[in-house]
Amino acid sequence: MKTSPLRWGLLSTANINRAVIPPLRASNRNILTAVASRSLASAEAYAGEWKIERAFGSYEALLDDPDIDVIYNPLPNHLHAEWTIKALRAGKHVLCEKPMGLDVVEIDAIAHTARDAHKVVAEAFMYRHHPQTLKAKELVDSGRIGKLQAIRGSFTYNMNTNVNIRLVPEWGGGSIWDIGCYPISYARFIAGSEPVEVFGQQVTGLTGIDDSFFGQMRFPGEVFAQFDSGFRTPFRAHMEIIGSEGILTIPTPFKPTLDEQLSLYRPEKTELITVERQELYIGEVEDMADCILNGKSPRVSLADSRANVAVIVALLESARRGLPVGV
């Protein structure tokens, strides 16, 4: 079995790297070793800026380096599956940004390749590792809000531009793929099951992607979820979990900071619950180390990733057809 530290390579110089670099450097079991870009000049400039040991002028060159153990894949959505599979075939473990794929066929191909390569691959839903999320799940499962009835969530921001990779349909553009995936994932996690039927409506932008999306999900046991996502609305991010005896509110569910509190309303009182302090992105980095070094299963499993993609695809189909769609 591989021993630490695990040597990581960044597959591109994407902006999101700046969130992953600090936890890699804070970890005793992981070390940032290399970065790749589509040109050597770009890679070397980035490596110099971030004090990264090695720079590669192509993604293939990074994958060919036998000293790299783990690849972080932050490429645009439509390249996630392709380069995750290439990295697995090159003998690398992979932490891939969300969404890992744009349909279940891509997720199944990743899963098949990972099994054949005996490598770990996980989707980078960083919020799923945070103590705030785990505490919310614990409170619901322990019955603190009574029987779970409904879940509501939102994630929106004002993009203020018409030129962005998130607006390109062929590249997996759209608010539901970019940010709507978060409240969908959160609702599925809290419900502890998969929706049996969904209904979606969208406001279509200039390029044909959903500038705004409004969705409903029906879970087994008469549990319902509603969410909205959007690129043309001021920033909003929240989750509300409603039960027969109480309401749990998570004010910053997707990017919690060090000091967060959950609000648990019950008729007799409202309780503020403080959660354990933890840097947001450290959880997914340490989870990869646990899986690779200790044989643990990823907290965000491939089955979980597949199910989230299946729900998104069904919601988009529902919006196109104007009808509820089974999942």
Catalytic residues: 98
Q: What is the DSSP string of 136-201?
A: HHHHHHTTTTSSEEEEEEEEEEE---S--GGG-GGGT-SHIIIIIHHHHHHHHHHHTS--SEEEEE
Task: Tell me which residue has tokens 């021993």.
Answer: 3
Phi and psi dihedrals of 307, rounded to 5? -65, -40
Q: Which tokens belong to 40?
A: 């050597």
The Cα 264–Cα 164 span in angstroms is: 39
Cis omega (within 30 of 0) for bond into 183: no
Contact 164, 238 (CB under 8 A): no
Contact 176, 229 (CB under 8 A): yes
Nearest alpha carbon to residue 81 among 66, 98, 64: 98
Q: Hey, how many other C-beta atoms are within 10 angstroms of the C-beta on 264?
A: 19
3-state DSSP call for residue 106? helix
Nearest alpha carbon to residue 125 among 243, 6, 257, 299: 299
Contact 222, 149 (CB under 8 A): yes
> What angle, 0 to 180 degrees and rounded to 10, lies between the N-to-C axes of helices 104-117 and 80-89?
10
In the chain, the amino acid numbered 158 is N
The Cα 6–Cα 140 span in angstroms is: 36
